[in-house]
Amino acid sequence: MITSILVVSGIGLVCGVALALGARYLSVEENPLIGTVTELLLGANCGACGYAGCGGYAQAIVAGEAPPNRCPSCTPEALAQISAALGIAPIEAAAREVALVLCRGDDEQAQKRFVYDGITACAAAAAVGGGDKACRYGCLGYGTCLRACPAGAIEMVNGVARVHPELCISCRKCVAACPRGIIRMVPAASHTHIFCSSRDPGATVRKVCKVGCIGCRICTRLAEGAITMDGTLAVVDYKQPLDNEELPAKCPGKCILKV
């Protein structure tokens, strides 16, 4: 019994000494805080923060390059813990945002200029003759965002992408993936949106799509400042409250919807 204990502890001791020496002469400096923060960040590695994985984001947080509230999956408690670990004042969690496809010009509503023949991906399709949709700003419907979405929150409805807000994890991958740039992050609390991104003049829009903004400005008057004009396109200013129930019915372009 004693021998066995002695032998095992002997081996352990020798190994321990060897390792201690190793640690002494081969060690590499690393901030322990990075490990702590990485653990608190849940490890979804979704990339929504803009860094390569949670580890990269943790490094940036510890280095003071990024605020800790960029992680959409982070709970308020975890956020508080991170702030505490860093020894800084607690930071408010950002309001939840969801992605929204600003186009409803599906196969029935919008014209196509030609029959596209090639890879089923939006960027590829957009590079062929400018895309088959007659509208230069319309959703091409070849599903690039759908494949980019890690949460499976995007569905193709009749040739137009639609985000299911309840499933969206705010990672912005679809925003980056859309070659037309018509996916926008909007507050999850807002429900009235203008589903059009066309900057073409109203006459052109009318020619190619039945549900496009024609720049008539009716909504800007009804919304009292919550909708502004960007050229010929009406844009919702989500900082302002927008609770006019009449808007969808009053839009001659039929592109304002409450969802």
Partner 1 sequence: MKVSPAPFLFRGGIHPPDSKTATAALPLKDLPLPARLEVSTSQHLGAPAAPCVAVGDRVTAGQLIAKASGFISANVHAPAAGTIAAIREAPTPTGRTATAIIIETDADAPAGEPPYKPIPDWREQAPRSLLDRVAEAGIVGMGGAGFPTHVKLSPPGDKPIDTLILNGAECEPFLNSDNRLLIERAEQVWEGCQIIRRILGAGTIRVAIEDNKREAAKALAAAMESAPDDAHIHLLKTLYPQGSEKQQIYSVTGRTVPMGGLPMDVGCVVENVATAYAVWDAVVNGRPLTARAITVTGDAVNTPTNWFAPVGTSFADLVAASGGARDNLAKLIAGGPMMGFALPSLEVAMSKTSSGLLLFPRECVRPYRSMACINCGRCVEACPLGLMPNELSQAAEADDIDEAENRHVMDCFECGACAYVCPARRPLVQHMRRAKAVITQRRRAAAQQKKT
Partner 2 sequence: MNTEQQNTAAGPELVVGVSPHIHSGASVERIMLDVVIALLPAVAAALYFFGLNAARLIVTCVATCLATEWICRRLMGRNNTLGDFSALVTGLLLALNLPPGLPTWMAIAGGVFAIAVAKQVFGGLGYNPFNPALAARAFLLISFTGPMTTWSASCIDATSTATPLGMVKEAFKAGAPAPFAMDGGLTLDFLLGNMNGCIGETSAIALLIGALYLLYRRVITWHIPVAFIGTVAIYAAILHAVNPAASMPVHFHLLTGGLMLGACFMATDMVTTPTTARGRLIFGVGCGLLTMVLRTVKTGAYPEGVSFAILIMNAFTPLINRATRHRIFGAAEAAKREARK
Partner 3 sequence: MTSYILLVLGAVLVNNFVLNRFLGICPFLGVSKKLETSLGMSGAVIFVMTCAAAVTWCVDHYLLKPYGLDYLQTIAFILVIAAFVQLVEMLLKRYVPPLYSALGIYLPLITTNCAVLGVAVMNVQNKSGFVESTVFACAAGCGFALALTIFTGLREKIERADPPRAFRGVAIALVTAGLLSLAFMGFNGLVK
Question: Per CB under 8 A, which region of 40-48, 107-115, 140-148, 161-169 contacts partner 2?
Answer: 107-115
State the Cα–Cα distance between residues 12 and 249, nearest whole angstrom.
Answer: 79
Tell whether residue 114 is a contact of partner 2 (CB under 8 A). yes
What is the Cα 56 distance to its own chain's centre? 18
Please, what is the minimum distance in Å from the beta carbon of residue 55 to partner 3?
9
Comparing CB distances to partner 3, the nearer of 55 and 248 is 55
Tokens 């009235």 -> residue? 192
Q: Are 130 and 164 in contact (CB under 8 A)?
A: no
Tell whether residue 175 is a contact of partner 1 (CB under 8 A). no
In Å, what is the CA distance from 144 to each residue of 38, 61, 178, 184, 207? 30, 31, 7, 15, 26
**Residue 111's binding partner out of partner 1, partner 3, partner 2, none, with CB under 5 to 8 Å set by partner kind:** partner 2
Buried b (16+ CB within 10 A) or exposed e, 36-60: bbbebbeebebbbbebebbbbbbbb
Tell whether residue 115 is a contact of partner 2 (CB under 8 A). yes
Please, what is the minimum distance in Å from the beta carbon of residue 72 to partner 2?
31
Comparing CB distances to partner 2, the nearer of 191 and 207 is 207
| Residue closest to 251 by CA, chosen among 224, 226, 216 | 216
Tokens 């010929």 -> residue? 232
Q: Binding pattern to partner 2, positions 189-228, x when CB under 8 A?
A: ------------------xx--------------------
Q: Which of residues 115-134 bind partner 1 (CB under 8 A)?
A: 117-119, 121, 123-124, 127-130, 132
Contact residues for partner 1 (CB under 8 A)? 113-114, 117-119, 121, 123-124, 127-130, 132
